[in-house]
Amino acid sequence: LITVSLTHAREFLCMMNEGHPEYGCFISKEKTMTNFDYGHHVLNVTNPHQQCKRAHPVHLRVFLKLS
């Protein structure tokens, strides 16, 4: 998920952590990474200011800002 809304990101992560048993779909919490604190449910929390990147909203190419 790519979003600028912390609320949307938290809601999406909560929904994915619950899983979707009717489809046999579950996420691997060990492989989940966020740039916001989500408590003990996510093991990989990165510094939100670690690198400045942006994604184009249409084709989702990622650009790295080096300045």
pLDDT score for 47: 63
pLDDT score for 11: 92
Question: Hunting for tokens 């048993």 — which residue is that?
Answer: 21
Each residue of 33-66: pLDDT tens digit? 787 777 766 665 666 555 556 666 677 676 666 6
67 pLDDT above the threshold of 60: no
Distances in Å between the alpha carbon of 40 and those of 14, 25, 32, 37? 12, 21, 12, 9
Structure tokens at 47: 């510094």
pTM above 0.85, yes or no: no
Domain ranges of the chain: 6-64
What is the rounded (10 degree) CA torsion for 26, 30, 31, 34?
100
Name the band, by pLDDT with cuts 50, 70 and 90, for residue 17: confident
For residue 32, the tally of other CB atoms under 10 A from its CB is: 16
pLDDT score for 42: 62
